[in-house]
């Protein structure tokens, strides 16, 4: 009758809350969000394996979808193909944010892929409750020198962030180093860097940046990264003429650095290669 029950209000359905209140009217419900976030921040080896598998399945599915798509294939058809690729591999499809050509619109539509255009394919999938969330780039044809250069600028920011990922490094120091490299880049005016924790939830501890772009406080920026934390690291370019160019990667923190999950296809992947 005097139970203290820790709850996470943001994830407790209202009907479950009312059921607890009815069954245990004298129990004290405590907001345990902070404790549960801390517990989620560092993963067990079994959880890391689930996240690795999730990331591999999403990467394999995206690369297969890029290779399948060809001139005239619509965004709606590409997204549907990705859904089937992920499902057939044992993942639960959650979303796909897709751009073609110079457009920055990532919603499904009848827009068709044209020769020489880029594709940005960003997908989240679920494997036994754990999230895979990555972004890879495709091109219909061969990438020209400008495209190679633009993706290299994105990669430079990603590598700057990775270089600071290590247990004991302050989360804010990793963010500041990547942002410093981006600020000095010639594409800085239309490019953004973001990093966040992930696992059971797409945005979970460690929270490294405040309201950028998701509305939460960067409460972990002043704390050291810990072994087995998992980070999503992403650099997004909204190029005025070439379109949406992005890399998003998943890394697990180790004592000496990091391990990347689903680390294939990080360059320009050719559309129609499966034909």
Q: State whether CATH 3.30.70.1230 applies to domain 41-270.
A: no
**Cβ 228 vs Cβ 212: under 8 Å:** no
Residue 2 has a pLDDT of 82
Burial 104-136 (b: 16+ CB within 10 A, else e): eebebeebbbeeebbbbbbbbbbbeebbbbbbb
Residue 275 has a pLDDT of 64
Whole-angstrom Cα distance, residue 107 to residue 137?
A: 16
Task: Please give the backbone phi and psi of residue 90, each rounded to the nearest 5 degrees, phi first.
Answer: 95, 10
Residue 136 has a pLDDT of 98
Per-residue pLDDT of the chain (275 residues; tens, 9 = 90+): 789 999 999 999 999 999 999 999 999 999 999 999 999 999 999 999 999 999 999 999 999 999 999 999 999 999 999 999 999 999 999 999 999 999 999 999 999 999 999 999 999 999 999 999 999 999 999 999 999 999 999 999 999 999 999 999 999 999 999 999 999 999 999 999 999 999 998 899 999 999 988 889 999 999 999 999 999 999 999 999 999 999 999 999 999 999 999 999 999 999 999 86
**Cβ 135 vs Cβ 121: under 8 Å:** yes
Whole-angstrom Cα distance, residue 188 to residue 160?
A: 14
**Cβ 192 vs Cβ 235: under 8 Å:** yes
**Cβ 54 vs Cβ 258: under 8 Å:** no
The reported pTM is: 0.92
**Cβ 206 vs Cβ 37: under 8 Å:** no
- Which part of the chain is CATH 3.90.230.10? 41-270
Q: Pairing state of beta strands 243-253 and 230-239?
A: antiparallel
**3-class SS at 130?**
strand
Residue 213 has a pLDDT of 84
Helices 145-162 & 171-183, crossing angle to 10 degrees? 150
């Amino acid at each position: 009758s005097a139970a203290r029950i820790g709850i996470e209000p943001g994830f407790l359905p209202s009907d479950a809350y009312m059921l607890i209140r009815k069954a245990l009217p004298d129990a004290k419900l405590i907001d345990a969000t902070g404790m549960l976030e801390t517990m989620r921040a560092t993963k067990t080896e079994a959880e890391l394996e689930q996240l690795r598998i999730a990331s591999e399945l999403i990467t394999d599915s995206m690369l297969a979808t890029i290779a399948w798509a060809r001139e005239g294939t619509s965004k709606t058809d590409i997204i549907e193909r990705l859904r089937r690729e992920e499902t057939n591999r044992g993942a639960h499809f959650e979303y796909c944010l897709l751009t073609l050509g110079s457009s920055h619109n990532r919603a499904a539509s009848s827009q068709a892929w044209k020769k020489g255009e880029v594709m940005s394919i960003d997908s989240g999938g679920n494997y036994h409750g754990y999230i895979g969330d990555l972004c890879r780039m495709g091109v219909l044809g061969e990438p020209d020198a400008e495209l190679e250069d633009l993706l290299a600028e994105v990669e430079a920011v990603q590598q700057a962030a990775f270089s600071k990922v290590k247990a004991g490094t302050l989360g804010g120091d990793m963010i500041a180093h990547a942002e410093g490299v981006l600020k000095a880049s010639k594409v800085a005016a239309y490019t953004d860097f973001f990093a966040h924790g992930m696992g059971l939830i797409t945005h979970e501890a460690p929270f490294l940046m405040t309201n950028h772009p998701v509305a939460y406080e960067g409460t972990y920026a002043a704390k050291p990264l810990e072994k087995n934390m998992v980070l999503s690291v992403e650099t997004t370019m909204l190029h005025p003429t070439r379109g949406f160019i992005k890399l998003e990667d998943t890394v697990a923190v180790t004592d000496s650095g990091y391990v990347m999950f689903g680390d294939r296809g990080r360059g320009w992947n050719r559309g129609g290669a499966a034909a």
